[in-house]
Amino acid sequence: MSESSLGIEEKSMKIIESEIGTHVYNELQWNVVRRVIHATADFDFAKPGRSGIIFSANAIENAFEAFGKKGHIVVDVDMVQSGINKKSVAKIGTSIICNISNKEVIDISKNQNKTRSTAAMRYSSREINGGIVVIGNAPTALYEVIKMINENAVKPALVIGIPVGFVSAAESKSELLKTNVEFITNMGRKGGSPTASSIINALMLLYISNLN
C-alpha cells in the first residue's frame, strides 16, 4: 500500500470516528465494525437497531484461536475470496477454501438439484470443522452450514454469516442466532461480499497486531 493510500485510509477512519460518535462496541469489535463501514460507506452497520453488526460472546476470541491453529477460512463465493487480504493469510499460515467452482461440486449440484453454494458448503465440511466460515453472498450457503451444525456434522470456530439480498438473507441470519456456535452477523437484508471480506480482514489484522 502506498503512502498516499495509507493517508487516505487514515483520513477515512478519522471521518468515520467523528461521524459515528458514541457506539455500543468494545475496542476489538469496533475495529471490525469500523472496517466494515470503511468498505461500504454504510453507517447502518454500527447501528444494532438497524443493520448493526452483532457479535456472539466469544466470536473474536474464537477467531484468534482458529488463526493460532491455522484453521481454514471457508468462503461461499469467489468475490469474498478475492476481497480477503492474501498477505494476512500468508502471515497467519492459513488457507482460503472456495469450492463454488469446483467441478465435483458443480456435478453434485446438478445431480442433487441443489444450489452450488449449498453443495459447496457440504463438500467443504472437513475444512469447516475448526475453521472460520465466511458467507457474504448466498443465504443458501448459510442455511446449509446451520443445518450441518445442527446435525453435529461440523463445529466451526466462527461463522461470519452476512449474506445480502431480499430472499432468505434476513431469515438465514435469524437462524444463525439460534445456533450454539460463535458468530458475527447482522439483521436484515444488508451484507454482501465486501462486508464479509472486510470482517475477516479486520480479524486477521487484529490477530497479527496482537502477535507483535
Catalytic residue annotation: 38
Long-range own/partner contacts, residues 14-22 (CB < 8 A, 24 or more apart): 16/43, 19/43, 20/46
Is-contact 173 186, C-beta < 8 A? yes
Q: Which of 81, 100, 102, 180 is nearest to 140 (CA)?
A: 100
Which phi and psi (to 5°) does residue 97 adopt? -110, 120
Q: Which residues contact 27 (CB under 8 A, 6 or more apart)?
A: none
